[in-house]
Amino acid sequence: MEAIPFIDLKKQFLLLKPQMEKVLLDVAAGSHYIGGSEVGQLEKVLAEYVGVAECIGCANGTDALTLPLLAWGIGPGEAVFCPSFTFIATAEVVALRGAVPVFVDIDPRTFNMCPVDLENKIEAVKKQGRLKPRAVIPVDLFGLPADFKSINEIARKHDLLVLEDAAQGFGGEIDGQKAASFSGVGATSFFPAKPLGSYGDGGAIMTSDKSLAEVLRSLRGHGTGQSKYEHIRLGVNSRLDTLQAAVLLVKFSVFPQEIKARRKVAEAYSERLSPYVSVPEVPAGYGSSWAQYTVRVPAGKRDTLIKHLKEQGIPSNIYYPLGLHLQPAFASYPGLGNCPETEKACREVLSLPMHPYLDEPTLDRIAEALISGLTTEDL
C-alpha cells in the first residue's frame, strides 16, 4: 500500500505552484535577498491577522523566544516558568540567558500548562528564596491555546512577564482572539512543519507595545540605532530573509482556509476514534490550529501499535517522549517538585498524520488501522 505522508507539504506546493514560481523568481531577479519589501509586507499582513500593532520577523521560532528575553534583560538569578511537556526550545532559550527554567506540569485534558501547578511552582520558588520569579512562557501545544485567562491573572498577581510560545499555535484562537496575542508578547515559528511554514527557517514576534517592538527590531539586527552602523546595544543577527517572506505571503493567502480544513480533519478523526482512544479536547470558546492531532493510547500497547501502523504505511510520532524536567540537558537544574502528568502523557501520546489536505479515504484508512491495532488480541 502507498505510504501516507505525516505532513503533506508536497500537495500544498503543487496547489500553489504557479504563484510560488512567480514570487521565487521575482525575489531572485530583484536581488534584495535580505531586507526586501516582502518582509515588511508580511509583517504588516500578519500583525493585522493576529490583531496586534507590530510583527517583527526574525530567523526562527527559537530566536522569536530569545529576543523578548534579551529585551527584558532576563538573566542569572531569575526563574522563568515553562511547561515540561513541550519542545526543548521553550526552556533552552531561558537557560542560555543564564536564567533558570522552572518546569510546570500540564493539565492532562489539554496537554497545556496547568495554572494550579504554575501557582504551586511560583510559591515554591518564593519559599526557597534563591531565585526571583520573573516570567512565564505558556505554550500553545499542538495548536491549542494555553489557558491564558488563568495564566495572565496569576502572572499579574506575582508581577511576572508573559511570553506566549505560539510556535505551534499560530492560527488558534480563544473567543475569536488570535493566538500570539494573548499576552504582551507572542513568538511564532515558520519552520516548514508548523501550521504556517516557509521553505526553510523563519519566525516572528507579535506585540502591541511599540517601544518593545523598537527594541526587538534593534536587537534582531546587531543592536542598531538610528543608522546601520550605530550600535546602541548588543544584539544578534536574526533576520527573516526575503525569499521566506515571499513564500509565506503566498502561503498566507490560503492559511485561513487551511485552518478550517485542519479543523475538519480533526473533527473527522475524533468522530471515528473517540470510542477507542482518548481524543484531544478543545475547551468551549477555543479554536486549535491543529499543528498535531494527538491521542492517548494504553502505554503498554503503544510500541506495537506504532509498528502495526507502520506496516500499513501509516507514520505516527511521539510528541514528546520525555519531559524537559527529565532531559539530560537540564540535569543541572534541580526541579521544584515533579511533573507526574507530563510523565504520564509521555508514555501515552501518539500523534497521527495531520495536514489540511488529508482526504476522507486516507483518514478512514488511518482510523481503521489504529482501531484494528487496538482491538486485535495479539497486540
- Of the two residues 54 and 201, which places its CB atom closer to ligand PLP in the complex? 201
Closest residue to ligand PLP, based on beta-carbon distance? 61
- Of the two residues 184 and 195, which places its CB atom closer to ligand PLP in the complex? 195
Cα separation, 98 vs 188, in Å, equals 22
- Of the two residues 118 and 367, which places its CB atom closer to ligand PLP in the complex? 118
Cα separation, 235 vs 296, in Å, equals 42
Q: Does 61 bind ligand PLP (CB under 6 A)?
A: yes
Contact segment (CB under 6 A) with ligand PLP among 56-64, 101-109, 208-216, 327-335 equals 56-64
Site residues (CB under 6 A) for ligand PLP, limited to 149-188: 165, 167-168
- The answer to whether the CB of 265 falls within 8 A of the CB of 356 is yes
Residue 106 CB, nearest approach to ligand PLP (Å):
13
Closest CA to 76 of 131, 136, 129: 131
Any residues with CB less than 8 A from the CB of 44 and at least 6 apart, and which?
55
Binding mask of the shown chain, residues 267 to 286, with x at each position contacting ligand PLP by CB under 6 A = --------------------
Residue 89 CB, nearest approach to ligand PLP (Å):
4
Residue 180 CB, nearest approach to ligand PLP (Å):
12
Q: Does 191 bind ligand PLP (CB under 6 A)?
A: yes
Residue 181 CB, nearest approach to ligand PLP (Å):
17
- Of the two residues 72 and 170, which places its CB atom closer to ligand PLP in the complex? 170
Instruction: Report the C-alpha dihedral over residues 88, 330, 299, 280, rounded to 10 degrees.
Output: -30
Binding mask of the shown chain, residues 111 to 140, with x at each position contacting ligand PLP by CB under 6 A = ----------------------------x-
- Of the two residues 167 and 213, which places its CB atom closer to ligand PLP in the complex? 167
CA distances 331 to 82, 101, 325, 338, Å, are 16, 12, 8, 13
Measured over all CA atoms, what is the biggest interatomic distance in the chain, rounded to whole angstroms?
70
Q: Does 189 bind ligand PLP (CB under 6 A)?
A: yes
DSSP 3-state of 95: helix
The single residue among 12, 60, 181, 238 that binds ligand PLP, judged by CB under 6 A, is 60
Q: Does 90 bind ligand PLP (CB under 6 A)?
A: yes
For residue 21, report the phi and psi dihedrals to the nearest 5 degrees.
-55, -40
Q: Does 243 bind ligand PLP (CB under 6 A)?
A: no
The single residue among 12, 66, 84, 86 that binds ligand PLP, judged by CB under 6 A, is 86
Phi-psi region of 200 (alpha: psi -120 to 50; beta: other; left: phi over 0): left
Query: Cβ–Cβ contacts within 10 Å for residue 295, how many?
Result: 20
Closest CA to 339 of 151, 156, 82: 82
The single residue among 49, 85, 87, 103 that binds ligand PLP, judged by CB under 6 A, is 87
CA distances 194 to 49, 315, 323, Å, are 17, 17, 21
Buried b (16+ CB within 10 A) or exposed e, 249-260: bbbeeebeebbe
- Of the two residues 168 and 207, which places its CB atom closer to ligand PLP in the complex? 168
Contact segment (CB under 6 A) with ligand PLP among 86-94, 153-161, 260-268, 365-373 equals 86-94
Task: Give the residues lining the site for ligand PLP (CB under 6 A).
Answer: 60-62, 86-87, 89-90, 139, 165, 167-168, 189, 191, 201, 203
